[in-house]
Structure formats: structure tokens, C-alpha cells
Chain A
Amino acid sequence: MHNFEFLRMVNIGQYLPLNSILHRLDARARIVMYLLILMAATFTAQPGGLLFALLVVLVLLRIGRIPLSFALRGLLPPLPFLLILAVLQVFVSIRPPSALPLFEFGIFKIYASGLVSAGMLLLRFCVLILALSLSSFTLSTSEMIHGLESLLAPFSRFGLPVHDLVMVLQVTIRFIPFLAIAAERIAKAQASRGAEWGVRKGNVFQRVRQVIPLIVPLFLTSLRRAETMALAMDARAYGSTRRRTSMYTMHFAWKDAAALLLGAGCAAVILILGV
């Protein structure tokens, strides 16, 4: 039924103004907390650590009042790619020389360690995607921009163009839903002129083939749009003063410190479980 709602597939880059406790924390506290959890989930080496990380993220989603089904839908689009990666992982993983294969099909040998690392890879990506979606649901772009700016401010003394980097990030994020919408419109326009979009049939290969004629117009419209957006930003005096200010003032309160400590604690547990 939802052939053309490309937007519903895109979770990252969407902010949900739900006004939960999580949404009301200081932006900097949230950024650091999410970063700690993301790093811990990236580097933890055992399934136990990953499972705990998954639990932490699910609890945070709950605290943020984000419907679980909505968050999980974001896992669907990258799933085929992850599965391919996982299958590769089964064959290429490093194993101890003494290990015996579980199954053998001709030249293919499957080892227990391969299955475990494939499962870990799947789980790790799921945790990372969920954590990234969580941060975008609860951190508005401007909060993130100003939070990052404030966090990175000390580095500008060493000649880091903090300001421009942060702006690049902001515009990138703004473009994600746009790409989904533009792809949807182009697909609709092609469909109404006889292309095979959303006609309730076609196998995986046909579906992949459909995407190709979409890409060129998508690039063209994106480039044109990037150009006009740059023009609009120029027209609104972007980059005209050295010191850009923010509508939001940030106060780091005790609850932010508590959240930060909790986040650091969770990250530590994830890493310790993963040793």
C-alpha cells in the first residue's frame, strides 16, 4: 500500500519533537552520552557487551517516548546489505588453527567462530543504527549544531574551522529527507509516464533495475537544489560575521551531569562485558 512513501524508510535525520526528559537534557550532555555509547558499542568485543548495549539503547528509546516499531523500521532498508556482509563474514572470519568446521559443502567450510562473528556483525550494526536513529530523533539539528559548536570551540584556537565543519554537517542532515522526497516525486513522475514503479509486481532484480533511471535525475535535482540553497544561505548573510550566535542558550544543570555520568557508566559496562 505504501509504494511511494519513501520518507517512511528514512529515520536518520528525522527529529521527533516529543518533549521527553531526554529531549530536555542539555544538548552537549546528550551528544557526549550518545557518542560514548556509540563508541562502546563499536569497540566491545563480546556478544554480552553488545546485548547490554542493545538493552541500553532500547531503554533510551523508551525514555525518549519513541515508538519502538517506528525505530525498528529504520533497520529494514539496510538489512539486505547487512545480510550480505554477514554471509561474507561467515567465510572470512579468523579462526584458531585447531577449530573444526561445523558443516562442510564441498570447498565451503563453516566454523562456529564464523557464525558467531557474523551474528556479532549483524547485532553490532543494528545497535549502531538504532543508536544513531535515537540521537537524531531526540537531537534537533540545531541543538546538535550548537552543541557540537560549543564542544568543539576550544579546537578553533588550533585553527580548526569548527564553524564550517558544523555547517557542512547540518546541510547534509537537512538533505536526507529531501533526497527521500525527491526520489519519491521522481519515481511518481516516471510511474505516471509508464515506468514500472509501484505496480505491485516485479522481483528483486527488476526492483534494483528501476532504481538506476532514478539516480541521474536525483543527482541533477540535488545539485540544482544545493545551488539554490547556497544562494539562499548567502542571501541570509551566512558567513557574514565571524561570531555566529544561537537562539538557544545552554545551561548545564545537575540532571545533565547525572545523565552524562549514567551514559559513561553504561559505556563502561558495555566495554567491560566485552573484554
Chain B
Amino acid sequence: MIRGFRVTVRVCVKITGRMTKALIEIENLWYSHPVRGGEAISALKGINLRIEEGEYVALIGANGSGKTTLARHLNALLLPDQGMVKINGMDTREERFHPQIRSMVGMVFQSPEDQLVAAILEEDIAFGPENLGLPPAEIRQRVEEALEITGLKEYRQRPPHLLSAGQMQRAALAGVLAMRPRCVIFDETTAMLDPAGRHMVRRLMRRLHEEGLTVIVISHFMREAVAAQRVVVLSKGEIALDSTPQEVFSHPADLWSLGLDLPLAGRLAIQLREVLPSLPPNLLRSNDLIAALPPPPFNVRVSGLDEETPPVAPQNGFIHVDRLGHTYLADTPLAYPALEDVHLHADEGKVHGLIGSTGSGKSTLLQHLNGLLLPQTGKVTVGPFDLNDPKTDLKAVRQFAGLVFQNPDYQLFEQFVGDEIAYAPRLRGERETLRQTVQLAMEMVGLDFETFKDRLTFTLSGGERRKVALASLIAMHPQVLLLDEPTAGLDPRSRNETLRSLEKLRQQGLTLVHSSHHMEDIAELSDSLTVLHKGRTLLDGAAEEVYSNVSLLEEHGLEAPLVTRAAVRLRELGWDIPRCILRIGDLVGHLRRNLEAHHA
């Protein structure tokens, strides 16, 4: 099926290809990552690709499919082992072209903090233009522009290490834009941003495209792929699909086999079409889906679903945070408050979600729940532990409530995966059962014991590192798992696997507290929620209760899950549906009941 598909694609590329001059030409590109003392890992296997000036291309594929490696060939950071890469006719293997190629193709990298070179934000943005040898007035003007576009004006004097992840991403983008490139490559730029920040970057991508720039987006958000004109799918170092988003996303089964997924709107549309056959096929954007939702074909008797208040379970106050405040670098000129007035209640054996935009204090709050940070003001209790009591055994707290950090790089400190996961049990003095503990923990997160136990931790891909970090905490047998952005930057398949392993952990009786920008993850998994905004608790309660506040969420740069929005729209159209629905299955169930009630 895939092969037939490719033929149509080639034809379509050829037709557009004749119009303009190709900016990027790749012919039979082979590349393998050298491994010292070992066999090179082959990453790209015979890539052929042409990208015209002004195209808007999404490059997608599972973790480890070679997307980043391919992107790095486009501005001569990597050079082909075999084959040829030409940028505007210039062969990347000729070193004399490198300055031009690099100012022509700008790149925003995956991890933002590694790109910031200078001690102050505006100086960092000036770094590129300074390297190009531009006159000072010109540099100043470009820096102003870049600050304006990315909305970072108020942070211009901040040192980069004091910016949040999202701000750093925007700073990195500003640094690239200041070079006025002809092509910008976004390497998962949006992975760590909140919905508002993501919207902003997506708008920027569109704007750059409209201004005639070539935009190449590497992303795990299928939504971003849908926004592009052309989608290139990589799989194991080869181009598997290359076509328009409509074409690529019309074969869900193929996508699944490539480790990808439909965009959320597409998935929801397919499930809704089972009950609403009048829904047009191939709906890929949320707004298109919402607009296409049909009214009921008959008059629905509105039952009293509204009056029915959701059953409020008595809170057992397993984790309890009251009026918590925390200021970083207190008593220094760099002091800044991260938490001001935070409340949180989470119940035993349940999943609690933490939502908030970047810099709202989610990570800081999580670090209070396992005693890494101690309350400066306010109260924190976690299970049997009172963290305000100076006699509390903090080591016991940390064993009780394990924290998985956002960035796995800092969590992995052993050389081999097996040792990494065995770190905590070893410290506890476990010997005979060690192997079994490690194996169980690895299976829990979907890592094969035999394949991975002797892998070097630093050769793992981002998603695999994430899994190892999670497994290393599971091996500690905590009662509570605290997860800081567990799914950020993962491809759809790994994301689903992670969510499934979290679900499994919940079933084993663990209490989970996880933070996320992804409303959908939170909705699928959480029983209760806390919404943070600028270090304060905005909402705290049962998931249904919190999400019924759609307008309050939107006011604060967050968005309700698509299912909830679709349900709200269907309700407006006259369907008999309760006000707040969080799961696709529930929505489909309600619609079906509506239809059956009519037939009966």
C-alpha cells in the first residue's frame, strides 16, 4: 500500500518542483553515527529529497528514525558519508560554502539551553548577526525585531539560565530569526511549551512561511504536521511517505506501523463517525471538526442530566498542600517567587494532574512533595509525613514519593542502563532479588531487559532515556510517583506506552501526581486536578469540576481537551449530553444512547 502511495507523491512533487528553484537537494544520502571501538550505527539510508524555496514541510517519524540527523545535514553540521546535499546549489562538503549555508539555513535545536551562548538574553540573540559581521545599528534593529516577534522584550536583560524552558525555546528561535535565514528548521521546538506558547510558535511558523521563508518542522505533534503543506515521514533512516497531510493521514494503519498516529481531531472524528455517519471523512483540524459536528436528526428529549451533580468522593487528603510559598535565591538581587499561594489535595490511589503554563510553578511544587524543597511558608503533608516538621526523615519521604524529572539527562548518572535502574535498590542493600527488581521495573515501562540492560545510557534516544528514568524510580517501590512532564517530547507511540504504564501503576495502587501541558493526557488519566497560574492555585478539585470551567482555563492560556469542546458544541446543537465529558468513550456512549432512545 505504501509503495503505490509513493508513486502518486513523486508525481505531485515533480509538478510543483518545476515551478521554482530547489533550495535543498538531497541525493542518495547515507550517514552512520560513528561509535568508538564499535560498529557505526547507520542512521540515514539513501535519502532522496528536494525542498523548494518557500515550502512548508513537516518531518515526522518515531523516536530514532533519523529526523534530527537529516536536519543537521541541511546546514552542514553533519556531512554525508555517501551521496550529496546541496543548499541553493552549494555542496555542503565544500567547506568554503559553510558560512553562506549556515546563515541561509537557521536551526532551532531540541534542547533550548544548549543553544544560548551569551550571559544575557539580548546578547545571545545578537550572537548570530555578530558572527555575520553586520554593523552595530543593523544588529540592534534585528535584535529588537526578534525580541518583538517572540514576545521576550521584558526578559531582554535576563541571564538565560534563569529563563523557563518555554522562554528559552523562544529565545533560541529569536537568535535564529535575527540572522534572517531563508530556511528555518524547528527541531521539536514546541515540545516543552504550554498551549499558548505553542500557538505562538505555530503562528510564527505560518508567518515565516507567508513571508516566503522555507519552514521545516520536526515535531511529534501531528497537529503541526497537518498545518504544513507537505509531510515527509521517516522510518529507520528511510523516507516512508512524502505527500500532503491529507494523503498521509488518510491511512491510519500505515501510520501506526511507523510509530505515528493521527492528529487528535482525526482520531476523535473516526470514533464519532461510528455514531454520526454524516461527519465528513478526513477531518484533521480541531476547528474543522467542531464546525462539522451535526445537530441531532430529530428532537431529543432533554433529560435532567444537568441537575445530576457529579458524585463528590470524600477527600482523604493523602497529599495535602496549603498556602505554600517558595522564593528562589531569596535574599539576593536575583530572588524571584515561584510559588505564592498554592493549594493541592490528592487522594490515595488516584491520579492527580497538575496543569499550568510554563513558569507557573509546577516543577517547584512537585519538588516540595518529596522533600527536595522544604516549605518556606505554608504547609505540606505527604502520606504520613509532615514536611514542616524539622525531624521528618527526608530520605524516607523521598523513598515514599519518587520524583521523575522533566529532563532525563540529569537523572541518568550510571554508565549502563541496568546499573542505572539498580541504583536505588542497591543503595537500599538489595542483593539477591536485584536482577528481578530491575527486570520488573523495565518491563513496567516497556523496555526489554535483555536488549537494554547493557546499553550505554548516553547512547539512548530521548524517549528511551525517559523510560529508563521512569524505570529507575519504579525500582525503588515508591507509594507515590511524582512525574514532571512525563510525555513531553515523546513520539505518539512512546507517549501512549508511557500513559499505559502509568495506568498500570495506578492499578497497582500507586498514587500518581503528574504535571503536563497536554490537556489530553491529563484528561484521559486524572481523577482530580490542580490548575496553577503564576505560582497560585487557580482551581483544585475533581477533574470534571475543573474542566467545566472552560472559559476560566482559556483566559489563562490553557485549553480544555478537544473531547470536552466537542461535547460542549454537540450540547449546544441540541444533543442530550452532560456538561463535562473527558473521555472519547463517554461521548460516543452518550450519543449512542441518544440515538437508541429515539429508535425506541
List the interface of chain A (C-beta within 8 A of B): 1-5, 7-8, 13-18, 66-67, 69-70, 73, 140-142, 170-171, 173-174, 177-178, 181-182, 185-186, 188-196, 198-200, 213, 216-217, 220-221, 224-225, 228-229, 231-249
Contact = CB atoms under 8 A, between A and B. Distances in A.
B473 interface: yes
12 contacts: A67-B332, A140-B119, A140-B120, A174-B117, A182-B410, A188-B410, A213-B413, A235-B75, A235-B102, A237-B128, A238-B131, A246-B139
Interface in B80-130: 98-99, 102-103, 106-107, 109, 111, 113-115, 117-120, 122-123, 126-130
A5 to B, nearest CB: 7
What are the 7 A-B residue pairs with the smallest beta carbon separation, nearest first? A240-B99, A217-B413, A141-B119, A185-B410, A228-B114, A232-B115, A247-B126
B114 A232 contact: yes
Interface residues of B, number: 76
A200 B394 contact: yes
B423 interface: yes
A142 B143 CA distance: 15
Contacts of B126: 142, 246-247
B106 A235 contact: yes
Nearest to A239: B131
B458 to A, nearest CB: 7
A177 B159 contact: yes
A150 to B, nearest CB: 13
Given A1-B374, A241-B131, A244-B133, A192 B103 contact: no
Interface stretch (B264-272, B396-404, B573-581): B396-404
Contacts of B133: 241-245
B333 A142 contact: no
Interface stretch (B216-224, B277-285, B365-373, B532-540): B365-373
A240 B372 contact: no
B130 A246 contact: yes
B239 interface: no
Contacts of A193: 398, 402, 423-424, 427, 472-473, 476
Given A142-B119, A236-B102, A241-B132, A229 B114 contact: yes
Contacts of B120: 15, 17, 140-142
A192 B402 contact: yes
B11 interface: no
Contacts of A170: 117-118
A231 B76 CA distance: 10
Nearest to B157: A17
Given A221-B409, A234-B102, A140 B123 contact: yes
B134 interface: yes
Contact of B118 (A141, A178, A237): A141
Contacts of A141: 118-120, 123
Interface string B509-538: 000000000000000000000000000000
A119 to B, nearest CB: 29
B36 interface: no
Contacts of A15: 119-120, 159
Interface in B133-171: 133-136, 139-140, 143, 157, 159, 161
Given A16-B334, A198-B394, A235 B159 contact: no
B329 A142 contact: no
A128 B394 CA distance: 39
A247 B372 contact: no
Given A193-B476, A200-B390, A4 B458 contact: no
A105 to B, nearest CB: 40
Given A170-B117, A192-B370, A216-B413, A177 B161 contact: yes
Given A14-B159, A194-B424, A220 B410 contact: no
A173 to B, nearest CB: 7
Nearest to A182: B410
Nearest to A232: B115
Contacts of B140: 247
Given A194-B395, A241-B132, 10 more contacts: A15-B120, A70-B333, A171-B117, A192-B398, A217-B413, A234-B77, A235-B106, A236-B127, A237-B131, A240-B102
A249 B126 CA distance: 13
Contacts of B374: 1, 3
B57 interface: no
B417 interface: no
Nearest to B76: A234
A166 to B, nearest CB: 12
A233 B130 CA distance: 12
Nearest to B332: A70
B186 to A, nearest CB: 13
A236 B393 CA distance: 49
Contacts of A235: 75, 77, 102, 106-107, 109
A162 to B, nearest CB: 15
User: Which of B119, B120, B333, B393 gathers most chain A CB within 10 Å?
Assistant: B119
Contacts of B131: 236-241, 244
Interface string B377-398: 0000000000000100111001
B383 to A, nearest CB: 15
B211 interface: no
A188 B102 contact: no
A194 B333 contact: no
B284 to A, nearest CB: 32
A189 B107 contact: no
A168 B133 CA distance: 19
A194 B428 contact: yes
B176 A236 contact: yes
B425 to A, nearest CB: 9
Contacts of A2: 330
User: Which of A67, A239, A246 gathers most chain B CB within 10 Å?
Assistant: A246
Contacts of A4: 372-373
A75 to B, nearest CB: 15
B175 interface: yes
A244 B102 CA distance: 15
A189 B413 contact: yes
Nearest to B120: A140
B407 interface: yes
B476 A1 contact: no
A240 B117 contact: no
Contact of B367 (A7, A73, A182, A188): A188
A104 B451 CA distance: 68
User: Which of B113, B115, B332, B390 gathers most chain A CB within 10 Å?
Assistant: B332
B328 interface: yes
A3 B370 CA distance: 14
B246 interface: no
B409 A224 contact: yes
Contact of A236 (B179, B329, B331, B476): B179
User: Which of A2, A225, A236 gathers most chain B CB within 10 Å?
Assistant: A236
B99 A178 contact: no
Contact of A245 (B114, B118, B139): B139
Given A140-B123, A142-B123, A229-B115, A247 B129 contact: yes
Interface in B409-433: 409-413, 423-424, 427-428
B405 interface: yes
B117 A232 contact: yes
Contacts of A16: 333-334
Contacts of B77: 231, 234-235
A233 B407 CA distance: 22
B326 to A, nearest CB: 10
A181 to B, nearest CB: 6
A229 B116 CA distance: 8
